[in-house]
Amino acid sequence: MRPLFKCEYIVEIEECLYEARKQLRRYWAGTLACLPDVTTETKHWDNSQTQYDLDCQRTLYDCLSNISFRTTIYSEESTSATIYGENENFYLLIDPLDGTHNAVSGFPTYSSSVALYHEGAYIFGWVYDLSRDLVYTAALGEGAYLQSPIIVKRLYTRKVNCIEDMRISFHRPKEDREKTIIQNLMWTASKIRIYSCSSVEICLIAAGVLDAFIDINTPGHERSCDIAAAELILREAGGALFDKTGNPRYSLPPSLASLSDTGTVIALSSTELIRLIL
């Protein structure tokens, strides 16, 4: 794998992350691919921090510490910012392991994601699908790409015009009204796919595999740290994100607030589809 984009700062980030990808892949082969551990598995999942989250964070921090320019990092698994380098003002928002419950349960859909923020906008997104060894990336204004060890592919969303043709994923709602909405979509859509990992599901829309990922359960589950990188990848591939009312959904800049701002999200392969969903 190699850097794809023009900006020298992004190229440096890409180089650090491709080293991180090698280390995360080894960690997957030696640890995550061998889960679940039936001797320690519990029936109730409390969404707590695990050693796997911390191990992935350590790998990302170790690789990103080689950045030459000043970077402030906010991570889902940390309560304070970490600063590397000098001079420039860049910010990173990280989710070391999105889909932790999938990993612990042995379900092979989880990712590490990194979003780079500079001068008021996210300018680079990186989502690594660990179990499939696939990297989704995008740079602002330069498109979105999928990389494997042997290919590089430009990403574009599918263009569909009716729910009957759509491939939909969703987060299971709890309230009766939202359940009814999802049930109507389930029996109308062409295909239903459930992955329980929002960053991967949004990237799959960018790749043309899905057309929608829907989380409309109030107050929602999607934080900026979960979806910032995937959001840029989707937008650069031609898609869009909204909240449950149909207003555009944008991730907060990297900050402590971006680690806890749970909200609803409707991620779609095109802007026009929001009228059909609503």
pLDDT digits (tens, 9 = 90+) for 198-208: 999 999 999 99
- pLDDT band per the 50, 70, 90 thresholds, residue 217: confident
Between 58 and 217, the more confident residue is 58
- pLDDT band per the 50, 70, 90 thresholds, residue 81: confident
The model's pTM is 0.95
pLDDT digits (tens, 9 = 90+) for 155-168: 999 999 999 999 99
> What is the pLDDT, as a whole number, of residue 42?
55
Determine the average pLDDT of the residues in 132-156: 97
Exposed/middle/buried for 127, CB within 10 Å: 0-12, 13-18, 19+?
buried
pLDDT digits (tens, 9 = 90+) for 4-27: 999 999 999 999 999 999 999 999
Domains, the chain = 8-154 (3.30.540.10), 163-277 (3.40.190.80)
